[in-house]
Structures are given as structure tokens and as C-alpha cells.
Structure 1
Amino acid sequence: MKSPSATLLAEVRTFRQNHPEVRYVDLIALDIPGHFYGKRYPVEMLEKVAAGSPLKLPQNAVLLGAQGGLFKIGDYCFNDGDPDANRRLVPGTLKPVSWESQPLGQMLITSDGTEAPIEFEPREVLAKVLERLHHKGIHPVVAFELEFYLFDKKLDNGLPQFARDPLSDEADDQPTLHIERLSRFSDVLDDMAQTSKAQGIDITVITAEIGPGQFEINFGHCDDGLRAADWAALFCRSTRGVALKHGYRASFMAKPYLQFPGSGMHVHVSLYDGAGNNVLAAHQQQPLRHAVAGCLALLPHCMPIFSPNHNAFRRLGGTVNAATRASWGFEDRDACVRIPESDPRNLRIEHRLASADANPYLVLAAILAGLEHGLETRQEPIAPLNEDRSSGTDFPVDMLDAVRAMQHQSVVRDKLGAEFVDVYCENKRQDHLAFQQEISAREYRWFL
């Protein structure tokens, strides 16, 4: 077998042969708010990194706020000397970028798998959860679904405008869930699909959703949780780029319109043992019930992950299929945890609470932690919505309350890492307080 460096070096050299026009490659990773940071490397220097030369970036780049600034979090950022930390290249992710004006490549980087991984890096948090499950003989299979809106490229006094129908040049007015909308926006949607596939992302079904200019993309089921989250992260980046190329804005903002449905991140998870048997389907599906109970127990304590910003909380209890309480049900889209109809081999949960702009690595880590907790404690869940429409437990609907509920919860700290929880909660608290430091026009109208 080839060594990791030999495999990476072969990947870089093959890329250079196939894309001689590319002179630079963006090395990128996802920070806590779910934005990409990184460096643009000359492709010849990338060969040296692939061969084993150090790849270092500031450790605190992971801690950037939603607007890119740094907050004082413990000794990080201002009392630690802003140290560098090692990163590594993620094999199989070096791909051409087709939406930029100049030839470019991109490749994921991460600290997981390095000698000293960053404990609060999102990909490392998920990697630790997956490693723990694998040691227990549990192997997740994961599929993400992402909703997003297309807007006109130009804003109206900072506000989004409906996407213009390419045939009529009017604002998109197709009926909800209408297949005709897919046809009318086929040029940009097809480019998004083809670009995603060129990035190695397994996308499947495209749906016109309920909101004007709203769509949903489904990804294939993947037996590598890290890769599944990589796909979701990379899809957001490429989709925004392709949309701009076609004269649109693509946004994964959780609730861009108060009067229309928000955009969610739905995550399907099934669990298998080493022999390929579905763990959730054993013993008359009793493990499924335990797993659901664990998810619901941790859900109120993971709300800063599922709703990572002020706007995301607006989506909860919205117009369609957005839960207001931690609940579950069979074939019920009003539930946070839905059990889709399937045969025993494909029995799974669908976690529907996270907003589309949540960090996919952290969302999946939180879901798996809940499943693991349920299988360990073997508690019975509350009644499903199919039996009791009022069933459910409350969860925080405000960021500061959510942070308080997360920070000192012992199971969450154990499953996701105490250092991560402390850093993440303080990052969210500071981001929320920074967001409040602006007086809106409405505030003047009401109180001046």
C-alpha cells in the first residue's frame, strides 16, 4: 500500500497533469460559524506539502466570529500569542474550481489526524465522535439534505429580491413544489449539480420547495461521516459561486422571509454493526426507540449547534414543518426526529431541526452523540406525535438561553469535548452580543 504522502503526491501530480492551466489552489477548512478560511497556495508548493512539508495556519482562525472578527475566549486569541497549528491535506478533495474568473483549484485541509489536533475544530470534533463509535463497533451511514433560496443578484436597500424567472423576467411566482420551477431555472440548477459532481459530491434529487426561489438538494447515503459532512460544506461553497456566475445569489440563511418557510439541514442517519446489520432494527426496533430517546434528551442542550445564530431561531415554529418542541414521529415532518418508512435494512432517523446554515460537522457530531447516549442509557422515548399531537419537550428559543443550556450539560461535554463546548458557547455568546450592538430603523420608529 502507498504511504499517505505518496498517495497525496500522486493526487497532486495527477491534478497538475489534468489541469495545467491551474496555478493556485485554495486550501480551505470550516471555522466554528461554518465559513471557510484558508490560504491560496501556488500549485508547485502544494506538491511539497503533499510530500510531507509542514502546513501551518493560525490556530485561532477556527474561532472567527460570524463577521470574521476574533473574540477573547479564555486565553485564546489575545493571551496565547496567536500560535500556528499544523493542518493536513484531506485526500481525494483536490478539485478544479469552475465558478471563478481565473483557473483555480481547491482542497480541504484539517487538523484531525495531526499530531496535535485542535480540540475545537469542527471536523476534529466529528472525527472524535466517529472514532469512538467505531471502537464500539457502530458504523453510521449518513445522508444530508440542504434547502436554500435563490435571490436576484442585486439587493434592494440591503434586502433580498425574488429570483427573476428566466422566461418571463418576473419575480419567481411558480406554485409551491411545482416541477415547472426546476425547468425555468434549469441552467443554474444543472450547473450547480454538475459542479458539485466535479467536486466529488454525490448529489441525487433536486426539489422545488415551498418558498419562492427555494430548492432542496439531497446527497447520497455515505458510510464515511466525515466525507458526508465534507460534501455538505463544499456544496454550500460551490453553489454560492455558481449562482453568482448566473446572476443570482444562493443563500442558506435559515429564515430570509418571515412569511415563507425557512431553510433546513435534514440529516438521515442509520447505524450498522461490523457484519453490516442495522443496529436500529434489532430486537423489534427497540434500539431505534432508545436512540430516539437519546436524541431528544440532548437536543435542548445542543440548540446553539442546530440554530447557530439569531436568524436561525426565527425559523423555529415557522410556517411549515419546523418544530417548536423536541418531538419524534413515524413519517411525520412536524417532528424534530422523523422515522421515514423503510425496510429493516434501511431503517434510520431523519433529524430535521438544524438550519441550513448550521455547521454540518457539528450538526452530525451532535446527532451521533444523541444516538450514542440513547443506546447507552436505553431509555424509552416520549410518545410519538402519531399517538399524541401535543407530545414533546421544550427547548431554548433564544441564543443566550441555549448557550446556558449547553455549556454545563455533562453528557454534551463528555461526548463533544469540554474544551470544544466552552469555546463554542463563548463564541456564540459573543457573536450574539455583537449582533445586538446596532440600533435598527424600527427601533427608532418605535421609541424615538
Structure 2
Amino acid sequence: MTRPRLLPTALCLAGLAGLVPCSLLAPDGATASTSASTTASTAARTAEIRASAQTRAFVDDASGTPANADADDPAIWVDRRHPERSVVLGTLKEGGLAAFDLRARTLQLVAAPAAPTEDAAPGRFNNVDVVGDLAIVSDRGRDRIRVFRIDPRGSRAGDQVLTEVTAPDAAPVFSADEAAVDDQRTAYGLAAARDPRSGVRWVAVTQRHEARIALLALTGAGSDSVGTRSLDTLELPSAFDLPDGTQWSPCEDPGEDPQLEGSVIDAERRVLFTAQEDVGIWRIPLTDTGFGTPRLIEKVTSFGVPATYDETAEECVADGTDPGYGGRWLVADAEGLALAGRTLFASSQGDSRFVLFGADRTRDLRIVAGGGLDSVEHSDGSAITPADLGPRFPQGLLVVHDGERAPAATDEQGEELATTGFAFVPLQRVLRVLR
């Protein structure tokens, strides 16, 4: 079913003592408190760490191989028997889906589906997550959920590590019919997990240009024809009541609502975290029948700032003073979310930082250049595993999207082309920031 738009029943102010008790530990309906020490404790300088490996660069141009490859979102499949053979996956939009080993070497490139007709949009793989031995992908171009089985040999399987098992009759997620798919209000952000109580494999999917999330369940997960069935749909707010009695809506392009993308499921606590790009991070309980009541637990710094769309410049322009209702950590867009235990990791895309909301403190970091590797800018997606992955990543692995891989590729005229990739960071370097 589709829920009506609603305002949050409680706004939790995220801070050192606020976010995790509010988002992960507090029962539904409880609120978290903040203290004077929160502001003082968060004044620490942004930490700087380096990646230990990075994938090849991908070029968003028809001349690239694969063509029009724009890296976006990673996921990690852990080989429990041979952790050093674990596999990292990454979406490349029209370039399809890539698989990498732990040295960040490319194992396999899976092409996105071609356009079904001359006038239709081609496949465009936006987000990916892993549940069990399945990789689940949102196909933004065709509004589908694509499913790939991961070979149990892991990286030893080489260019055979992924095999598509999407059901042939897979229906659009949000579009009423094929004609509506080409409006491109389609499957966008994605998170997947297995419900520890029921065994159902959840897939939470956000909708492009809408403030809407669908909760699906995988069907036929053990077969070669995996589909989905709908459990629930939730509409999040596009307008917010401010403390001064006014109402605020984030400025968007005409006809668009504030969309969501970065998402992660805490299966143990049955909670979905999802980032509404120009608003902040939501905590949404998951139940046997679908979604519980959403709560906004962290706001972007620009929350409440008035802005209007300038048709000449084709962008939003601030047209008033900042009333001071925003958060302190995330500069819009709020993007990729990942979990390591009780630490929530979020991308502050607007200023190329990452924020770690830990159990007893909040810290931020940047991934800087060094050791012959590039820095990370404007990151979209991220993935974390705390598992021991062998000598390279004995305490776990963080993988992040890099929105500006340097040095950039150039065309025949010497003009720079958009170049992206993924960076691998030993998790101990990240957690050291919290300590």
C-alpha cells in the first residue's frame, strides 16, 4: 500500500550521544537527548586517512570501455571459507556492473541491458547490495530489480563470478507500464538484507525524483529465476514545519520532490536508514508487514534555508538567511550510508567528507591522496564489512565511490572527460578516527 505524506512524529538531534541511541537503540517513539558537551566534543579537526587500493578509472563517454561507465555504488561479498577471495561489486550506470578482487583488479564487467526500442531508455545500474549469495541491483534505466548469483569460488571464479538470475517476467518497480518507464521516475537507491526473524530477503528501493520508498521481498531466491513481490510503500515528507512556525521545502528542479538514495538495512534491529539528499537521514523500522513510523535523525546543514529555482541559471539559489535549524555534520547531498556494528557511516557529498556516527562520539574524515593513490571527492555510495578479509584487510574493509578520479581521461581534442572509480580503505584506519 502507499502511505500518505506525513511529517515526522519526532525529530532526534544527532550528536555524540544522540544518533545511535536514537536511531539504533531507542525504542520506537523514544527521543534522544543532547548535552552541552556534544557541541564541545565535536570540534575536533577533520581526520585525514588514505586508501590502500583503488580500481581502474571509468570514463563516462561513448569512447570508454565499457562505454558511458559512471561509477556510483559498491557492495562487498564476503567469502566465509576463504576471506581473501572476497569480491567487491560496483555499479557503473550505463556501463553495467563490475566485480573486483581485493587488490581492486577487475574480474568481470556485466553489461546493462540494451534499450528495448529505439526511443526507450537503456539499462542503467544505479545501486547494488548483497544478501547471501545474491547481488541485487537497481536498474534505474528500466525500473527493474536485477539479480545476480555470486559464484562460491569468489575471486577464483574470475570473469564467471556473476551470473544473472533475474526472473524473465520481472515487472517495473514504480512504473505502471513500459511507457511510464521512460519518464525515468524509476528505481534508484537500494538496500538489501535478510530478516533474521522471518528469513524474508528484504529489498528497499527509493524512487528517482520522488520522496518514496518501496519495500520488496525476493522470491525464488534459491532458483535461477529470482523475482520480487511488493510488501509496502512509504511516502516521506517534501515539506517540514520549522520551529518559527513557517514551513520549508528543499528547493528542487521543477516537478521534482526531494529524492532519497543512500540506504542501508540494520537487519538485527530491523531498521532501514535512508538519506534524503537535501534533507537528512531517516530511521525507519521494518516489520513483518512493511514500514514502521519514520523519524528524521540527522539533518543537512542547509535544512530550513530558503531557496528558489532560477530558471535562467537552471539551479537553486538561496534567497534568505539561514535560520539555524540545520545539522552540523552533513553538507548536502547526504549520500551513501553503511554500517559497521553500531557505527553509521555517511557521505557528506557537498564537501567531500565522511561522517562516522559512533556509539559514543561523532567524527568526520576525508580520504586524501597518498602512496600513489587519488583522493576521494563527492562520494555517492559506500559499503563496509568488519570481517577479517585476510592479510590486506584483517580488520575489515571500507569501499567508497570516488566521484572525481584523477588524473582525468581526455578525448581526442584534449578535453577532460568525467572519470570515476572506487577506493578501498582498511577498516582499522577508519575506526582509528573514532578512537
Q: TM-score range by the shorter chain?
A: under 0.3
**Larger gyration radius, structure 1 or structure 2:** 1
The structure richer in strand per residue is 2
Greater RCO structure (CA 8 Å; 6+ sep): 2
Higher helix share: 1
TM-score by length of 1: 0.24
